[in-house]
Amino acid sequence: MKKRRKIIITIICVVVIGIVLGVVLTRGTSPESALTTVNVTRGDIVKTVLADGSLEMPNKAYLSFGATGTVEEVLVDEGNNVTEGQVLARLDAPSLESSVEMAQAQYETAQINLMKTIYPHYTTEEGTDMPGVWLALEEAQDNLEQAQELLDEGRIEEAQVLLDLIEGNLSKAEEKSIARTFQLPWSVKLLELQLDIARANLDAAELNLEKAVIVAPFDGVVADITITEGKEISTATLATPAISLVDTSEIEMRGFIDEIDIAMVQLGQEANILLDALPDEEIEGRVAFISPIGTTLIGVVSYDTIITLENPVAELRDSMSATAEIIIERRDDVLSIPNRAIRGTLENPMVVVLVDGQQEEREITLGLTDGINTEVLSGLQEGEKVILPTSEERPDGFFMM
C-alpha cells in the first residue's frame, strides 16, 4: 500500500514539474525566434522537362541461316569484335556447292555455243554505220580545204557554197552515228536466251549458297550465340537467331515525354542524362527526335523521344534505365528564393521580409522557375531575409510549377 502511494506521488511531481517548465520556456521565447527565414541568394535557375526511358544501341542484328543443314563451323565467340563482311558461321552444304558448280558449267557452255555462231559479227543487237560516218567526215574535210583556198583567192561566193556543203556533210555524219537496230538470226537469238537462262540459274545457285553462311552486316560485337558446331538447322529453326550482333559505338536514349510538357521540347535542346546503374555519371545529350504520334497508356498520353549521347562512357549498356532532364530555359547568376517563401497569387506575388526585427510585406516581380526556386526580377536584394510561412499559414492561392 505504501509502495503504491509513493508511485502516485512521484507521477504527480513529474507532471507538475513539466507544466512549470513549459510555462517558463514559453515566456522566454520571443516571436522573432520562432520565425524561419531564408536568404535571398544568387544562383542559376534551369527549367527542365523530364523524359523517362532507357538506353538503346539502335544498330543491332539477329542473324540466322537462310538454308537448312548441319552447322560446320562457328568462327567467333561471344564478346568478339567483328568487321563488316566477316564470316561468322557456315553450314556443311555440299549439295548447294554442287549446284553452283553445275550452274557455272552450264553458263560457260551456253557462252561457247553462242560464240560458235555468227554472233562475233554482231557486238549487240544495235549497231552504228561507222563507215558512213568516216566517209561523211572525209567529204567535209575535203570541202573545208577547198573553201579555204577559195577564200585565200578572194572568191568568197564560191567558198560559201562549199561551206554550205560542209554543214550537210556534218549532218550526214551525225545521222550515220546514231545506232540502228539490226535483226539477228533466230538461231542466235535462241542461243542468247539460253545464255540468259544459264546466268539466272547460276545467280540463284550462288544466292542459295550464300544463305548457308552468316556474315557480319556491320562492325560490332558478338552479343549472343545460340548454335554449336554439328547442330542441325531445320525448317522449323530457320527463323531462330543463331548469332546476335550489336554496334556498341552508337548509343542513344529513348524516352517518353508527357503531353503537358511536349510543346516546350524542341529538336537540338541540351539534356542531362541520369542513370540508375551509374549514379555518379552524368551524360550530356541532345534531343534528336520527337515523335509526332502519341502513345496512350492508362489514359496518359506521351510522346516517344530520342536523345543522342554526346559523351558516352565505356560502362554504358543497352537497356539501362535512364532519366533525361531536357533544358528548356536557363538563367545564370540571378536573384532567387524558394517557391515556398512566395505568398499571394501568380498575378500579385509577395513575400514577407524581416527588416531590423520587423516583418514587412513586399510585392515582388518573378521570372523563371525550376519548380523549387524562382528568379526574382525586382522587389528584393541579395542577402535580405525572407520569412517562410509556418505550417498553419499557407500561401494564399500561390502555386509555382
pLDDT value of residue 82: 95
Q: What is the mean pLDDT of each run of 10 residues along the chain (401 residues)?
A: 38 40 39 76 93 94 89 92 93 77 83 68 53 71 78 76 75 66 65 82 81 91 93 87 92 94 95 92 93 92 94 89 94 94 90 92 93 93 90 54 45
> Which residue in this structure is represented by grid cell 492561392?
397
pLDDT value of residue 247: 93
pLDDT value of residue 190: 78
pTM, to two decimals:
0.59
> Which residue in this structure is represented by grid cell 527463323?
239
pLDDT value of residue 312: 87
Dihedral over alpha carbons 62, 66, 68, 72 (to 10 degrees): -70
> Which residue in this structure is represented by grid cell 537496230?
181
63: closest CA among 54, 74, 52, 47?
Answer: 74
The SS3 assignment for 105 reads: helix
The SS3 assignment for 376 reads: strand
pLDDT value of residue 4: 35
pLDDT value of residue 133: 66
Q: What is the rounded CA–CA span in Å between residue 250 and residue 56? A: 9
pLDDT, tens only, 102-127: 878 888 888 887 777 755 555 454 55
pLDDT, tens only, 317-370: 999 999 999 999 999 999 999 999 999 888 899 999 999 989 999 999 999 999
> Within 13 Å of residue 88, how many CA atoms lie on the same side as its CB?
35
Q: In Å, how far are 3, 283, 284 from 231, measured between CA atoms?
A: 90, 44, 46
Q: Are 380 and 40 in contact (CB under 8 A)?
A: yes
Q: What is the rounded CA–CA span in Å between residue 74 and residue 376? A: 67
Show the domains of the chain with their CATH numbers.
Answer: 33-45+334-387 (2.40.420.20), 49-58+249-331 (2.40.30.170), 60-93+212-246 (2.40.50.100)
Buried-exposed string 69-103: b where 16+ CB fall within 10 A, e elsewhere: bebeebebeeeeebeeeeebbbbebeebeebbeeb
pLDDT value of residue 162: 72
Q: What is the rounded CA–CA span in Å between residue 35 and residue 390? A: 8
pLDDT value of residue 306: 96
Q: What is the rounded CA–CA span in Å between residue 249 and residue 217? A: 15
